[in-house]
Structure 1
Amino acid sequence: MKKLLITLSIIVAAVLCAPAAAAVTSGHKTVAGHTISVSTDANSYTPKARSIDVTARKTGSEMGYYRFTLQKKVSGKWKDQRFSLVGSFKRATPAKEFYIVNHTAGTHRIKMTIYKNKNWTGVKGHVYTPSFEVRK
């Protein structure tokens, strides 16, 4: 019985500590000395989808300031859409949502811009997710 409880405890701990699955992730990129990755919650969005959820993680505990921008591929070029979401984080951003109802169908990606200052000035660099599809 004791071995069973230990085994179950290990399994529960592994499940609770496992990272959330992300369907599209940028891979890791170093920007200003921090390794950063950006993820969405799916690799395609159907007409029933409500939002595109985006998160980012970084190394280090220094405060980071960011802007998530949804981009759409138009005539072979990436174009910023009119909505962007800003925030600050030390290790991981809270989930941010781009509501599907505000966007058209097509190929999209998320651009994360990292800033030096808390007023979102002084660009340090960008991290991009791979592309994903939005269907309407």
Structure 2
Amino acid sequence: MTLGLTTPASAASNSITIKVDAPYYMPGAKSVDVVASKSSGKRVYYTMYLQQLYTDGWKTKQSLKGEFVKSTPTKRFYISTMITGQYRIKLKAYSNAGKTKHTGTYYSKSFAVTR
């Protein structure tokens, strides 16, 4: 995991970093591998979205849910379901399992997929 960025939509004291395993994916690639992590704090409940850039903005294509304290296990979004384009990972974090207490929104750097 080399490509990471912490971009909270609103300032938070405990930032989350989202890392993907490459800046671009060629036709032979199988998946985009993603890890979200933070330095410390309480359990985070999240929904992670794979988004594709269109002329009218970012559109969600897939999502994964989970929870973590320090870091997520590696999450995979499979290339076979994607078309050529620019993508990013969006993570919405919550402080409760019911996901009613939103604590922040975070983004990875964008990455390219070529099919």
Counting only pairs closer than 5 Å after superposition, residues 79-94 of structure 1 correspond to structure 2 as 79-81=59-61, 83-94=62-73
Identity of aligned residues (%): 35
Larger Rg, first or second structure (1 or 2): 1
Offset, 1:108: 0.4
Classify 1:114/1:32 alpha carbon distance in 2 versus 1 (closer, same or farther; 3 Å).
same
Classify 1:74/1:28 alpha carbon distance in 2 versus 1 (closer, same or farther; 3 Å).
closer
- Identify the match of residue 51 of structure 2 among 71, 78, 94: 71
The answer to whether the 8 Å contact 2:14/2:41 transfers is: no
- 1:104 alignment counterpart: 83
How many residues were matched structurally? 114
For 2:79, the aligned partner's letter is I
Higher helix residue share: 1
- 1:41 and 2:16 matched: no
Counterpart of 1:35 in 2: which secondary structure? coil
The answer to whether the 8 Å contact 1:65/1:115 transfers is: yes
Offset, 1:119: 2.5
Offset, 1:101: 0.6
> In structure 2, how many angstroms separate the alpha carbons of the residues matched to 1:135 and 1:123?
34
Classify 1:28/1:127 alpha carbon distance in 2 versus 1 (closer, same or farther; 3 Å).
closer
Offset, 1:32: 4.2
Offset, 1:123: 1.8
- 1:123 and 2:102 matched: yes
Segments of 5+ residues of structure 1 without an aligned counterpart are: 1-20
Tell me the TM-score normalized by structure 2.
Answer: 0.89
Deviations 1:16-72, CA, capped at 9 Å, x for gaps: xxxxx41x2114658643121100001000110000000011122411111110011
Higher relative contact order (CA 8 A, sep 6+): 2
Runs of 4+ that moved beyond 6 A: none
The answer to whether the 8 Å contact 1:114/1:124 transfers is: yes
